[in-house]
Structure 1
Amino acid sequence: MKFWIPHPGHTSGLEALLSGIDDLGRVEAVYTGGSPDEVGTGRPNLHYPRLDEVREQVELAHSHDVLYDVVINSTCPLRGEPTRRVAERYSNYLEELEKAGVDGVVVADPFVLKLAAEVFDRITVSCLAFVNTSEKAEFYADVATAITVDTSFNRRFEVLEELSRLQVELKVIVNEGCLLDCPYRPFHFNIFSHLYGPDEVSVYDDYYYRRCIADRLEHPELIIKSPWIRPEDLGHYLEYVDAFKISGRSHQVEWIVEVVNAYLEGRWDGNLLHILDCPRELRDVFYVPNPELDGAIERWKECDFRCHECGFCRELADRVVEVREFKSTVVGEVSV
């Protein structure tokens, strides 16, 4: 059982992370975001390491027998620029990462995948490529060494079984708290790709973020439907996947250490939302006692995703999800 864990980007954070993990021997790699000054990434980091910092951090990770990956999974790498100019920028950055000792990269766009394949042998396809069929997986598997499965398919075990037959390593994200089959997801990550890239754009109001929270305030069963995987349930995935990815590189290192240790131990006794990489406001409103979810995975393994006919997640939410407090100021007014 291998783990792939988030690194917030600064060297002191990496030091704290590597020293705070209880069983570091089970951690295959740390990953952090690519520099927005160069190419950008699909999610925010607390800090984006410069190339000199990358070299220092690679040495630090390797001294603990841990690999070091960089995520450059922008969903909009071209941004309206000429392809040749973008290709040159990405290729130069990839080559600099390789010279700095980086072990591998994580990409989403097929264009970037081809550029990365000219430099790196270790390439992971991001969850933002939305790989959820064997046909799509085969397309990426021709070049990539690993694929991170579309998170909305974490509980579709028949799909995981089919993908596991391919000659490529499979990874699943265990603690992402996004909505199941989220309609906002591709558009939201396009915004992130511009915000955390070389465009120097600003967004003064994140509709998708507020909408995401508001939907769950109105329908708490959506929290249960989110395709997270509990620490206690990792064993159900061992026959299908090769590594577990823990999400959360925008969080403080203390939180990351706590979450990683919970998954390494295979147990969490508190609020499930505390270990999920989800809108943090939700933790202030809802308490989901993780032990109360024991056994639910058995039902989800047989799920046909006909939610309108089933009602299991709604009934489970009614029974276990506790509403601590509701404040309209959490998201403000959401309208369109």
Structure 2
Amino acid sequence: MKANRRMYSLPYNGTNPEWFLQEAEKRKNNIDHVYCELPLTESNMFSHVRFLFDGKKNTGSKQKANPDPEKTNLKRANYVKNCAEFLRISKGKVRRICPVNAMYYRYDTEEELKDFVISLARAANYYQLEGFILSDYRMAVLLHALLPELEIHTSCNAYQWNLRQMEIWRDKCGVKVFNPPREILRVPENLKKMHDKGYKLKCLINEGCLMGCPNSFNHNLSIAMSCSAPILSCCQNGIADLFRANWILPRWQKYYDEYVDIYKIAGRNSEGDYPFKCMDAYLTENNDMSLSELMISGTIMFAHRMLPKEILQKITIDKVPDKLLSCECSSCEQCKLCQTILAELIPEEYHSRFVFKVNVEK
């Protein structure tokens, strides 16, 4: 596939709606859809994005309340207001697929769950949405029954690893696009099997979740249950983990083109023009940016906390070895390639910060 024919899923990040739409329209030939938070009310949304503004600050194992909750509430309300305005002005100009994609939504009765899904259907009609991104199978079944014409995508939080799962979601929920879990990017033969069966695939490309993270499922579930996850597991065994992430580098897209239909860019919590800088880097197959500019979350978020900015800037995309495309991080102790490269870029005094430690007192 030619680079200029690739299609992307772009996040709306709550910035100026008019400006964002203008920038999206400039790139519309490469945008399958923009995914934007669903503002069910003027001050509320059902998404983990709310944790960006929830008035809490992670401080190790403790949490301290934001000293200015009024400012936090205003920031959250402005985000929701901008989402509503973007959905209003973008109708007919870009496709809008709204994520309601936490792993689980807690409702004590079947009627409460149905009422929630009915509210989603009403919102879809009000904003004339093209579709939803869902993780909760119960919601997908009900929503498809209410609005069979609505396009449903699965989220990576739905954790669909096998063809039988996908068959059920397609047959019972009418799913059009599947987003397998992040980890599958390191098992490309599974992607090929899914695509060969006729499933349209969307894959996350710029999130640095650790390959083989032991806390991935629990972390996503804790967010769905409105809990924080204070024990970060994004790096386990040293500085080499900075490269052991489930991302797709811009220059690697050509290896995925045959079975990835839509490349998804993460960034609902990002600021300013990040979604467009990221998309442009992938479109041009940029190989010179620093990883910390292009990637978010996971190992990169961890590195931001552990390393000075000037060190992060030296760790550029071209430094990541292509061996990571196929090795599945299965022979790191013998290989040590990532360790060797990063040891030249990160001073030794910082190395111990990347080793997972358990501190507990009785």
Alignment partner, residue 259 of structure 1: 278
Aligned length, in residue pairs = 315
Alignment partner, residue 18 of structure 2: 15
Q: Which of 143, 153, 156 is residue 116 of structure 1 equivalent to?
A: 143
SS in 2 for 1:154: helix
Gaps of 5+ in 1: 196-201
Give TM-score scaled by structure 2 length.
Answer: 0.76
The 2-side partners of 1:246 and 1:333 are apart by 31
Gaps of 5+ in 2: 1-5, 54-75
The 1-side partners of 2:245 and 2:328 are apart by 15
> Structure 1, residues 169-211: CA drift from partner, whole Å, max 9, x if none?
100000111111322122212222233xxxxxx75xx323x33
Give TM-score scaled by structure 1 length.
Answer: 0.81
Alignment partner, residue 243 of structure 1: 262
**CA RMSD, Structure 1 to Structure 2 (Å):** 3.2
- Larger deviation, residues 261-270 vs 277-286: 277-286
Task: Give yes or no for the alignment of 1:69 onto 2:97.
Answer: yes
Alignment partner, residue 199 of structure 1: none
The 2-side partners of 1:73 and 1:17 are apart by 23
> Structure 1, residues 277-314: CA drift from partner, whole Å, max 9, x if none?
21535136263221123xx44x3454365335753xx3
How far residue 245 of structure 1 moved from its aligned partner, in angstroms, is 0.2
How far residue 104 of structure 1 moved from its aligned partner, in angstroms, is 0.6
How far residue 32 of structure 1 moved from its aligned partner, in angstroms, is 2.0
> Structure 1, residues 224-263: CA drift from partner, whole Å, max 9, x if none?
2211001111111111011000001111032222212211
**Aligned partner letter, 2:233:** R
Alignment partner, residue 216 of structure 2: 185
Alignment partner, residue 26 of structure 1: 30
The 1-side partners of 2:191 and 2:334 are apart by 22
> Structure 1, residues 85-117: CA drift from partner, whole Å, max 9, x if none?
122122223322232111110000110111221
Alignment partner, residue 60 of structure 2: none
SS in 2 for 1:253: coil
Query: Percent same amino acid among aligned pairs?
Result: 18
How far residue 42 of structure 1 moved from its aligned partner, in angstroms, is 4.3
**Aligned partner letter, 1:83:** E
The 2-side partners of 1:116 and 1:165 are apart by 28
Larger Rg: 2
**Aligned partner letter, 2:160:** V
Alignment partner, residue 272 of structure 1: 291
Is the CA contact (8 Å cut-off) linking 1:121 and 1:145 kept in structure 2?
no
Task: Give yes or no for the alignment of 1:139 onto 2:159.
Answer: no
Is the CA contact (8 Å cut-off) linking 1:31 and 1:71 kept in structure 2?
yes
How far residue 151 of structure 1 moved from its aligned partner, in angstroms, is 0.9
SS in 1 for 2:225: helix
Alignment partner, residue 47 of structure 2: 41
Alignment partner, residue 230 of structure 2: 207
**Aligned partner letter, 1:78:** R
The 1-side partners of 2:186 and 2:94 are apart by 29
Taking structure 1 as reference, are residues 152 and 304 closer, same or farther at Cα in structure 2, changes over 3 Å only? closer
Taking structure 1 as reference, are residues 15 and 78 closer, same or farther at Cα in structure 2, changes over 3 Å only? same
The 2-side partners of 1:168 and 1:192 are apart by 28
Taking structure 1 as reference, are residues 254 and 55 closer, same or farther at Cα in structure 2, changes over 3 Å only? closer
Alignment partner, residue 330 of structure 2: 306
